[in-house]
Amino acid sequence: MKGIHYVPLHFKLEDRLCLFVGGGGVHERRILALLPSGARILLLAPRVTPTLEALAREGKIRWLSRSLEPGDLEGASLMFVAVDSDPWSIVEVARARGIPVNVASAGREGDFIVPSVIRRGEVVVSVSTSGRNPHKTKRLARWLERMLERFLP
């Protein structure tokens, strides 16, 4: 099979800085998924969803209402970019510093993708089509979740 083949990895992100550029629904879902990991989350966006704004008010994430500045990358382990404008200048700044980047608008062009994840107690299952068919990934993840409910209530 031709094309990109991703390697499934599960990272320990506790106390690691994860940088998010863009404050819409995509990042809301990703930030909510990362919060239990103990990652330090820095969100850069002029505007954010009400949920993200509430998380910032509660001190669960750090939100700066502005664009990315070079100093923001200091110590970052991962970067997630979901912006309405062209993301590539942001991506190149991160890559120049060796920071892996996820690009929501062009998943396979980034350095990593975010799979669908199912959690049942200590069991964690991730599902991906290597970015080729997100709809199929979601359908398969829902099916697996129903199957796991039968075996791991």
pLDDT digits (tens, 9 = 90+) for 111-144: 998 999 998 888 899 999 887 888 899 999 999 9
Cα gap 105→122, rounded to integer Å? 31
Unique residue bearing structure tokens 């970067």: 79
Domain ranges of the chain: 17-109, 116-151
Task: State the pLDDT confidence band at 80, using cuts at 50, 70 and 90.
Answer: very high
**Contact, 55 vs 36, CB < 8 A?**
no
Q: What is the model's pLDDT at position 73? A: 96
DSSP-H helix ranges across 109-153:
134-151
Extract the tokens encoding 45.
């966006």
Contact in structure between 87 and 101 (CB atoms under 8 Å): no
Does residue 48 contact residue 63 with C-beta atoms inside 8 Å?
yes
pLDDT digits (tens, 9 = 90+) for 14-44: 999 999 999 999 999 999 999 999 999 999 9
**Dist CA 141 CA 61 (whole Å):** 28
Q: What is the CB neighbour count within 10 angstroms for residue 101?
A: 22
Closest CA to 13 of 90, 64, 76: 76
Condensed to tens digits (0 to 9), the pLDDT of residues 86-96 reads 899 999 999 99
Q: Which CATH number fits domain 17-109: 3.40.50.150, 3.40.50.720, 3.90.550.10, 3.40.630.10?
A: 3.40.50.720
